[in-house]
Amino acid sequence: MRASSPKEKEWYTSFISGLFFPFHERIKNHDSVAVRKELEISQWWDPKCLEALQLSKLRRLLAHAEVHVPFYRALFSDISFNPKGVSSLTDLAYLPLLDKSRIRANTEALKSENGQSLARFNTGGSSGEPLIFYIGKERVSHDVAAKWRATRWWNVDIGDREIVVWGSPIELGAQDGIRGLRDWLLRTKLLPAFEMSEQKLDRFLDEIRAVRPKMLFGYPSALSHIARHANARGQRMDDLGLRVAFVTSERLYDEQRRQISETFGCPVANGYGGRDAGFIAHECPEGGMHITAEDIIVEIVDQQGMLLPCGEAGEIVVTHLATKDFPFIRYRTGDIGVLDSKLCACGRGLPLLKEIQGRSTDFLIAQDGTVIHGLALIYILRDVIGISNFKIIQESLNLTRISVVLESKLAPETIAKIEQGFKARLGQTVNIVIEEMAEIPPEKSGKFRYVVSKVATV
Ligand SMILES: [Zn+2]
């Protein structure tokens, strides 16, 4: 596609977001256009009104689950839970948490008996076994609408040129002809994130320059990797008119945010969610990580599953209110987060997630049982000149391996310093093995993880 004049671009974007995409959604029997319009109004409601909306939707979901979903019918009967008696969001705490193993064991019983055209999904399983679950059209519409709303917070819209750096081989395999045509019309171009050799990275830079996208979308590790490559090549990328870089699916480190923002000359907007849990939260230009409260109730729980007060860190548990066809009620995400009691300066009433500290698997366990955040070890390696990329793998309480990609050889005293730093946190008798590698491949999903612990599992 050739570059076009600004006027032409605006016209095209209005056509796509106002006509083509709504038509596309209607053919697929999705309500995403209507839902998005509602969301654009309710985002300004005060928190009390949003809570009342959540409660009425929750009651509807639970009542439906009792009548139509065998798993919940049996559960409610076992624990004598009456959905009609729910009078507050905190009543959710009467229900058990839903984890992946419970979904696996009850996949069929979790389907609504009157659910129609359920689509089967399979998470990539980058952090454990894959999960198979089902999504109905109601939920698809709501997740599309929530993402669309957040896109518009950043002054970009469906139809604006976009480069997506993404993909597990499985997802990319699904790129058929129709999807290709749709992506072409929506001006979305996909660059596969799971193979990023030097030559591929050069091509990525060329593609981004040729397309001149309004927005980038991808894993923080992938976008910062491309940004670093542009810097190493001396290739300017901040003159393309990019408005925003959307990142999601991994923890976003400050260093990555700085790198992406500086290289591409645009702000970085962090998103949090997944195919399984839904579009949980997204950052606005004022920096608030807004929860999609109209569709998702977020609870923070401790290791025993007990509800924690606002401000305390614990596991993020979500109830997705648009999942009557295959309910996600109190679903454990495995991520650690903190709820904020303050509201955002932008004026939206949507509550905020203060911190998302990443997957619980970003944590390691020291020999004495202390839980250590992966960052504590990441900082040790970030400071070292000569290391261009790394990955920390805790094999056991007594063995941690560090794979490094080197720009220059490490001095013996540098190696000793790294070992000391690691031992100070993990335990003095831990065996630290440093291995040089030509490159560190991302996970099968295309995501990159700096820390993998085979000890700290949830
Ligand atoms: Zn905000």
Residue range 63-86: mean pLDDT, rounded: 97
Q: Report CA(342)–ligand 1 centroid distance (Å).
A: 11
Q: Report CA(63)–ligand 1 centroid distance (Å).
A: 33
Give 284 or 359, the one with higher predicted confidence.
Answer: 284
pLDDT in tens, 16-28: 888 888 988 888 8
Q: Report CA(223)–ligand 1 centroid distance (Å).
A: 24
Q: Report CA(57)–ligand 1 centroid distance (Å).
A: 24
Q: Report CA(307)–ligand 1 centroid distance (Å).
A: 25
Give 125 or 22, the one with higher predicted confidence.
Answer: 22
Give 398 or 357, the one with higher predicted confidence.
Answer: 398
Please report the sign of the dihedral spanned by the C-alpha atoms of residue 316, residue 102, residue 250, residue 369.
positive
- Res. 458 pLDDT band, cuts 50 70 90: very low
Neighbours of 175 (CB within 10 A): 13
Q: Report CA(290)–ligand 1 centroid distance (Å).
A: 6
Give 358 or 152, the one with higher predicted confidence.
Answer: 152
Q: Report CA(155)–ligand 1 centroid distance (Å).
A: 14
pLDDT the model gives residue 9: 58
Give 7 or 447, the one with higher predicted confidence.
Answer: 447
Q: Report CA(349)–ligand 1 centroid distance (Å).
A: 8
Q: Report CA(43)–ligand 1 centroid distance (Å).
A: 10
Residue range 348-356: mean pLDDT, rounded: 93
| 136-145, 163-172, 417-426: the lowest-pLDDT one | 163-172
Q: Annotate the chain with three-state secondary structure.
A: CCCCCHHHHHHHHHHHHHHHHHHHHHHCCCCHHHHHHHHHHHCCCCHHHHHHHHHHHHHHHHHHHHHHCHHHHHHHHHCCCCHHHCCCHHHHHHCCCECHHHHHHCCCCCCCCCCCCCEEEECCCCCCCCCEEEECHHHHHHHHHHHHHHHHHCCCCECECEEEEECCHHHHHCCCHHHHHHHHHCCEEEEECCCCCHHHHHHHHHHHHHHCCCEEEECHHHHHHHHHHHHHHCCCCCCCCCCEEEECCCCCCHHHHHHHHHHHCCCEEEEEEECCCEEEEEECCCCCEEECCCCEEEEEECCCCCECCCCCCEEEEEEECCCCCCCEEEEEEEEEEEEECCCCCCCCCCCEEEEEEEEHHHEEECCCCCEEEHHHHHHHHHCCCCEEEEEEEEEECCEEEEEEEECCCCCHHHHHHHHHHHHHHHCCCCEEEEEECCCCCCCCCCCCCCEEECCCCC
pLDDT in tens, 141-152: 999 999 999 999
Q: Report CA(344)–ligand 1 centroid distance (Å).
A: 5
Give 49 or 128, the one with higher predicted confidence.
Answer: 49
Residue range 345-351: mean pLDDT, rounded: 98
Q: Report CA(153)–ligand 1 centroid distance (Å).
A: 9
pLDDT in tens, 360-399: 556 788 898 877 777 778 878 877 888 888 999 999 999 9
Q: Report CA(61)–ligand 1 centroid distance (Å).
A: 28
- Res. 445 pLDDT band, cuts 50 70 90: low
pLDDT the model gives residue 414: 93
Q: Report CA(282)–ligand 1 centroid distance (Å).
A: 9
Q: What is the pTM of this model?
A: 0.81
With beta carbons less than 8 A apart as the criterion, state whether 250 and 447 touch: yes
Q: Report CA(293)–ligand 1 centroid distance (Å).
A: 13
Residue range 322-349: mean pLDDT, rounded: 95
pLDDT in tens, 293-306: 999 999 999 878 89
Q: Report CA(347)–ligand 1 centroid distance (Å).
A: 6
Q: Report CA(113)–ligand 1 centroid distance (Å).
A: 39
Q: Report CA(351)–ligand 1 centroid distance (Å).
A: 9
pLDDT the model gives residue 247: 94
Q: Report CA(193)–ligand 1 centroid distance (Å).
A: 30
pLDDT the model gives residue 200: 85
pLDDT the model gives residue 246: 97
Residue 457 pLDDT > 80, yes or no? Answer: no
| 83-97, 177-191, 274-288, 297-311: the lowest-pLDDT one | 177-191
- Res. 164 pLDDT band, cuts 50 70 90: very high
pLDDT the model gives residue 20: 87
pLDDT in tens, 225-270: 899 999 999 999 999 999 999 998 878 888 899 999 999 999 999 9
Q: Report CA(211)–ligand 1 centroid distance (Å).
A: 30
Q: Report CA(151)–ligand 1 centroid distance (Å).
A: 13
Q: Report CA(81)–ligand 1 centroid distance (Å).
A: 37
pLDDT the model gives residue 382: 77
pLDDT the model gives residue 124: 53
Tokens 């839904």 belong to which residue? 278
- Res. 177 pLDDT band, cuts 50 70 90: low
Residue 324 pLDDT > 70, yes or no? Answer: yes
Residue range 101-113: mean pLDDT, rounded: 95
With beta carbons less than 8 A apart as the criterion, state whether 384 and 418 touch: yes
